[in-house]
């Protein structure tokens, strides 16, 4: 039998009020609270906080506070990652971000979801779907990436876009919902 945490990470319906998950969300909130209160001169302390929060980090990265997430351990970033101010990553399921990905300010990445069925939703059960972002992607400020989306390599996401479906490699997308505007070199 799966634990509520295992169900959550697998994208199945789970009880978010489970004691283990409540504790882990509280831990992430404490770390992000501490991170968001750091001074620009406290780079080593910021690095320690980010590395204690995220699931995996490949190489150099940059992350500007404030930053918010639910668990942290489901976020995996590649080398050369940069996230600007005020990003929100709801990571009930894994978020895998490739190399040299640039995330603009106010970007929101949501793996969290709720059932479409009214009765199931009323029960309080939740679910999620993993998100994958390829290499060399630029996500413009204020964009929203919805649960279950895969974004290919060398994609530019226009500012304010809402990404609701998978995106192939080598394109510029924009709009709500985001659509392919043109290929990129």
Burial (Cβ within 10 Å: 0-12, 13-18, ≥19) of residue 26: exposed
141 upstream amide cis, omega within 30 of 0: no
Residues that are catalytic: 114
Residue 24 CB contacts under 8 Å (≥ 6 apart), including other chains: 5, 71, 73
Q: Distance between CA 30 and CA 185 in Å, rounded?
A: 42
Q: What tokens does 124 get?
A: 């309080």
β-pair partners for 90: 110
1 three-state secondary structure? coil
Regarding beta strands 171-175 and 156-157, do their DSSP bridges make them parallel or antiparallel, or are they unpaired?
parallel
Regarding beta strands 144-145 and 162-163, do their DSSP bridges make them parallel or antiparallel, or are they unpaired?
parallel
Q: What tokens does 65 get?
A: 């506070």
**Backbone φ and ψ of 12, nearest 5°:** -90, 165
């Amino acid at each position: 039998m799966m634990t509520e945490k295992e169900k959550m990470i697998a994208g199945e319906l789970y009880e978010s009020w489970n004691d283990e998950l409540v504790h882990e969300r509280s831990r992430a909130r404490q770390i992000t609270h501490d991170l968001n209160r750091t001074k620009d001169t406290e780079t080593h302390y910021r690095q320690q906080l980010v590395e204690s929060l995220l699931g995996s980090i490949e190489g150099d990265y940059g992350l500007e506070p404030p930053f918010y997430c639910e668990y942290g351990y489901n976020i995996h970033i590649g080398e050369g990652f940069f996230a600007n101010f005020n990003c929100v990553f709801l990571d009930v399921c894994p978020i895998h971000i490739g190399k040299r990905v640039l995330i603009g300010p106010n970007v929101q990445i949501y793996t969290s979801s709720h059932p479409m069925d009214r009765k199931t939703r009323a029960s309080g059960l939740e679910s999620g779907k993993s998100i994958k972002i390829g290499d060399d992607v630029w996500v413009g400020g204020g964009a929203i990436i919805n649960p279950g989306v895969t974004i290919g390599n060398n994609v530019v996401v226009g500012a304010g876009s809402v990404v609701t479906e998978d995106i192939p490699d080598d394109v510029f997308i924009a709009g709500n919902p985001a659509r392919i505007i043109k290929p990129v070199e």
